[in-house]
């Protein structure tokens, strides 16, 4: 699949990500609406309502966390829904979320001067006109316009600049909130809670009141979804993004719940009722004044709330502009909105448009903006529901997709997220629900929808085939970490640690020092078997062709012998190699050498034939008292480690046993069965992984191994089917040969390691076992070097080191090697023992745990 390099700068740290999301969610609502929440559900009822609402959003947030880590691309919802539902679903989902973002930005432009007027009533001067009962003043407009220009300019100058502003304001909000909570705890009394823990005369009424609060709370949590919009600008690891997104939701729930408790603990029900009827009805501000015994502190709290307006404004400007950019980049809306600022790398035209709308919005008054924001909330909920559906679709449609932050029990999470977000959408439609859209708001939703349809038709006509196209951004996330499924408490602790320790991951660079020796000439290419005589004649005039019974009946042997004879080389054939009693077989071959005066050997076949040929050469040198006969190999399987190895089955080595020429003709290997192709290919992949991760690895073997791993991961499954593409087949053969070469160079040969591992067992060293052992080994080792295994994972289509074992399991399953190994007489303890022997230094207990996990992965 085609990919592109991101055009954005990665400037957002873990802390920046947290304050952008958290600042968007806490906003201004806790200042103006706490009294309404308490009067509706009571102190404990309202707190419980926020917890219930938080759980609703939490499920949606989990889907966002997984999808954002899997597809960290600007636009978030646009990318998720495109992958799952295609262009139409993506257009609807993103267009709805844009409505939500733009509506909040416009509303905040009106809310800010309104709060200024509350603090300084004399501020309103220069009456101009009235809209829907709301008076418009020149001073009111001036403040709204100036702040709109300022925030838009901050966002154009750079995302990092906007994040710095967000940090300052969020710290102020948090500080003011903590002051209220602490002062209430010190000066409040439990007597104030009497009669207002829950509202209602009956249990049914209390439940209704609590649920009434719960229904509206999700609308106060809108903001966490800004994180995926800016995913390309985040410089932390992919798993951290998911953790921080969930953390932001949990912190918002705690913040709202504690504010409710603080107000109820310092003011009784009658005092809250009186405050509700006061100027502005700002019960939270009045509670601050009571807690500190000073009216000045009420204005301090309002200033904190004022900061909340700007944090929401700032976050949704970031989110809205990125959502528009992603649609424009796919040519769903005019492509001019996909332009980035030359210097600051921010979507300048999208920011200018939303900024212009925030300047225009105050001219229509606050009442109309309330309608707009309600319509926008509806749009956000529709988008949430579509993302939740996309989450479930992609788990079925793309199970192999790397998911650095992977949600456990995805079916439960997906269903709950769909039901919860769908419930929010329905609440806007049902009359009397308390959230029903009024006709003016439905008109705005309809108008926005019509505008989207017009954009769609216009862009389809203008851009043609480019309309609704999408290109993935290539992920380059070097700062990987040890990943794994975490319990909720562990995930929260890890997320807090992510924010606290925001230093980039660094690795010590070792000085380059290595040696590379590959004293074997490799001749590669289809049809090269017909050049055997030309290639081998430098090594003698009388050839002993060594093969086995299976290969002896194939045309390959005759074609090689014909080429040798045409080069003036006489030929005798020894076709008695078997996997048993090679020593006896070698003695028989020596007799053939004496009889025919053979002076070099040509071995045609698989590894067993190559091993037999080396034994024959060694026996002839020993028996005839002469130097080692030159060896030349024509392998008939692409996993032929014996071609590049100078050792004998007893472990002894002699460099004279290295082949002079290894003639690799992919056409000689087409007789391999589908199972042999799969088993040999997976073994070659394991050889490359062992070589790449070996202590003696070096730059040249690393480059060769990664090249081969990329080919095998991409092409192997295809060549194991009924119809094999010739080009793909040749590449797989090349990758298999590379696996044998790098394993010989680094001394990490999986066949020998496997034999050593099964030495204490009663079953044979069948290479099918590699599909069970190697993922366990990789899973146990990956966390010890996340950088090394992270790069390996990305070569195999994953993202972080956590994906290595999962990608191997997926490939084994695609190759039909994921059989229940218990059917082979291998049990869970055997896997642990095999893995322990295979990896040597690892503790048996750790391996057993990983082995059990891998078995479960195969089952699923």
Rounded Cα–Cα distance for residues 410 and 397 (Å): 14
β 661-664/600-605 pair status:
unpaired
3-state secondary structure of 130: strand
How much is the mean pLDDT over the chain?
A: 83
Least confident of 277-291, 308-322, 361-375, 501-515: 501-515
> What are the tens digits of pLDDT across the range 633-679?
999 998 888 888 888 877 788 889 999 999 999 999 988 999 999 99
**Burial of residue 555 (number of CB atoms within 10 Å: 0-12, 13-18, 19+):** exposed
Q: Return d(Cα 116, Cα 689) in angstroms, integer.
A: 64
Of residues 522 and 57, the one with the higher pLDDT is 522
**Of 193 and 748, more confident:** 193
**pLDDT at residue 503, as a whole number:** 43
> Residue 822 has what pLDDT?
54
Rounded to an integer, the average pLDDT of 828-845 is: 54
Return the pLDDT at 757.
Answer: 52
Range picked from 113-127, 365-379, 575-589, 838-852 for highest mean pLDDT: 113-127
Quick one: pLDDT at residue 417?
92
- Percentage of the chain with pLDDT > 70? 86
What mean pLDDT comes out for the span 740-756?
Answer: 69
Residue 711 has what pLDDT? 94
Whether the Cβ atoms of residue 346 and residue 97 lie closer than 8 Å to each other: no
Q: For residue range 23-47, what is the model confidence (pLDDT) as tens digits?
A: 888 877 788 788 888 998 899 999 9
Q: What is the DSSP string of 366-414?
A: HHHHHHHHHHHHHHHHHHHHHHHHHHHHHHHH-TTS--SSPPSSHHHHH
Predicted confidence band at 433 (pLDDT cuts at 50, 70, 90)?
low
Q: Which residues contact 709 (CB under 8 A, 6 or more apart)?
A: 685, 688, 689, 692, 735, 792, 795, 796
**Three-state secondary-structure class, residue 507:** coil
In this prediction, residue 365 carries a pLDDT of: 80
Higher pLDDT, 419 or 790: 419
Summarize pLDDT for 204-241 with one digit per residue, the tens.
888 888 888 887 776 678 788 888 888 888 888 777 88
The four Cα atoms 32, 34, 35, 41 give a dihedral, to 10 degrees, of 140
Instruction: Give tens-digit pLDDT for 582-610.
Output: 666 788 899 999 999 999 999 999 988 99
pLDDT of residue 506: 40
Selection from 89-98, 101-110, 651-660 with the highest mean pLDDT:
89-98
Q: Is the pLDDT of residue 821 over 80?
A: no
pLDDT of residue 64: 92
Can you tell me the distance from the alpha carbon of 100 to that of 225, in angstroms, rounded to the nearest whole number?
Answer: 11
User: Tokens 């495109």 sit at which residue?
Assistant: 82
CB 475 within 8 A of CB 794: yes
Q: Are residues 124 and 139 in contact, defined by beta-carbon separation less than 8 angstroms?
A: yes
Q: What pLDDT is recorded for position 830?
A: 61
More confident residue, 335 or 512: 335
pLDDT band at 477 (very low <50, low <70, confident <90, very high): very low
Query: Structural domains in the chain?
Result: 3-500 (1.20.1740.10), 524-669 (3.40.50.1970), 676-859 (1.20.1090.10)
Structure tokens at 684: 């070659």
Predicted pLDDT at 213: 84
Nearest CA among 630, 628, 637, 617 for reference residue 660: 630
């Amino acid at each position: 699949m085609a990919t592109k390099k991101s055009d954005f700068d990665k400037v957002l740290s873990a802390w920046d990500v947290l304050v952008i999301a958290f600042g968007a969610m806490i906003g201004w609502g806790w200042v103006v609406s706490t009294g309404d929440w308490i009067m509706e559900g009571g102190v404990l009822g309202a707190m419980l309502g926020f917890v219930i609402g938080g759980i609703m959003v939490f499920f949606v947030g989990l889907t966002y966390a997984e999808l954002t880590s899997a597809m960290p691309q600007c636009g978030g919802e646009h990318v998720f829904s495109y992958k799952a539902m295609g262009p139409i679903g993506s257009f609807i989902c993103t267009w709805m979320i844009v409505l939500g973002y733009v509506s909040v930005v416009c509303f905040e432009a009106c809310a800010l001067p309104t709060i200024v007027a509350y603090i300084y009533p004399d501020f309103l001067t220069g009456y101009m006109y009235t809209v829907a009962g709301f008076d418009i003043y020149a001073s009111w407009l001036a403040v709204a316009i100036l702040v709109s220009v300022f925030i838009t300019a901050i966002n154009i100058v750079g995302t990092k600049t906007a994040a710095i502003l967000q940090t300052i304001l969020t710290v102020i909000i948090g500080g003011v909130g903590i002051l209220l909570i602490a002062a209430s705890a010190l000066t409040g009394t439990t007597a104030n809670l009497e009669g207002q823990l829950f509202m209602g005369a009956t249990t049914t009424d209390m439940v209704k009141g609590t649920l009434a609060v719960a229904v509206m709370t999700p609308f106060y949590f809108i903001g966490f979804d800004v994180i995926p919009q800016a995913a390309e600008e985040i410089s932390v690891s992919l798993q951290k993004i998911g953790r921080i997104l969930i953390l932001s939701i949990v912190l918002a729930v705690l913040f709202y719940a504690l504010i409710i408790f603080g107000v109820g603990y310092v003011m009784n029900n009658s005092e809250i009722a009186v405050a509700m009827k006061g100027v502005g009805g700002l019960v939270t501000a009045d509670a601050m004044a009571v807690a500190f015994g000073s009216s000045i502190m009420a204005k301090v709290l309002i200033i904190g709330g004022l900061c909340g307006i700007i944090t929401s404004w700032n976050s949704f400007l970031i989110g809205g502009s990125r959502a528009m950019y992603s649609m424009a980049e796919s040519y769903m809306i005019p492509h001019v909105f996909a332009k980035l600022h030359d210097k600051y790398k921010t979507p300048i035209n999208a920011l200018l448009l939303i900024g212009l709308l925030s300047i225009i919005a105050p001219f229509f008054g606050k009442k109309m903006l309330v309608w707009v924001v309600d319509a926008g909330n509806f749009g956000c909920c529709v988008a949430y529901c579509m993302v939740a559906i996309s989450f479930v679709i992609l788990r079925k449609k793309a199970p192999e997709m790397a998911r650095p932050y992977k949600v456990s029990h995805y079916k439960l999470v997906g269903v709950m997220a769909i039901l919860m977000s769908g419930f929010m959408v329905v609440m806007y439609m049902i009359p009397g629900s308390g959230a029903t859209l009024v006709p003016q708001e439905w008109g705005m939703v309809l108008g926005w929808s019509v505008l989207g349809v017009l954009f769609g038709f216009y862009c389809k006509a203008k851009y043609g085939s480019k309309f609704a196209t999408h290109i993935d951004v290539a992920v380059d996330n070097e700062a990987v970490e040890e990943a794994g499924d975490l319990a909720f408490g562990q995930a929260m602790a890890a997320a807090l640690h992510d924010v606290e320790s925001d230093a980039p991951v660094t690795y010590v660079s070792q000085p380059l020092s290595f040696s590379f020796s590959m004293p074997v000439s490799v001749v590669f290419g289809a049809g090269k078997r017909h050049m055997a005589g030309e290639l081998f004649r430098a090594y003698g005039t009388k050839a002993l062709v060594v093969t086995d019974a299976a290969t002896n009946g194939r045309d390959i042997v005759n074609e090689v012998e014909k080429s040798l004879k045409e080069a003036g080389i006489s030929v005798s054939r020894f076709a008695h190699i078997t996997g048993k009693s090679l020593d006896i077989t070698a003695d028989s071959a020596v007799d053939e050498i004496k009889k025919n005066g053979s002076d070099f050997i040509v071995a045609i076949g698989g590894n067993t034939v190559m091993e037999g040929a080396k034994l024959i050469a060694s026996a002839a040198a020993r028996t005839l008292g002469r130097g080692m006969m030159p060896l030349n190999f024509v392998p008939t399987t692409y996993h032929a480690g014996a071609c590049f190895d100078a050792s004998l089955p007893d472990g002894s080595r002699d460099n004279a046993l290295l082949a002079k020429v290894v003639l690799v003709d992919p056409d000689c290997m087409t007789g391999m069965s589908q199972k042999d192709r799969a088993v040999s290919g997976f073994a070659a992949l394991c050889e490359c992984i062992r070589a790449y991760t070996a202590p003696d690895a070096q730059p040249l073997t690393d480059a060769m191994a990664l090249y081969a791993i990329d080919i095998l991961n991409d092409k192997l499954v295809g060549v194991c089917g009924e119809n094999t593409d010739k080009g793909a087949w040749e590449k797989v053969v090349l990758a298999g040969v590379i696996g044998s070469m790098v394993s010989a160079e680094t001394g990490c040969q999986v066949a020998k390691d496997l034999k050593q591992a099964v030495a204490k067992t009663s079953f044979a060293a069948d290479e099918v076992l590699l599909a069970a052992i190697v993922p366990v080994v990789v899973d146990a080792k990956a966390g010890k070097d996340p950088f090394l295994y992270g790069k390996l994972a990305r070569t195999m289509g994953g993202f972080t080191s956590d994906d290595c074992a999962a990608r191997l399991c997926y490939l084994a399953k695609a190759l039909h090697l994921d059989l229940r190994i218990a059917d082979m007489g291998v049990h869970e303890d055997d896997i642990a023992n095999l893995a322990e022997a295979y990896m040597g230094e690892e503790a048996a207990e750790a391996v057993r745990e990983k082995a059990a996990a891998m078995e479960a992965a195969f089952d699923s």
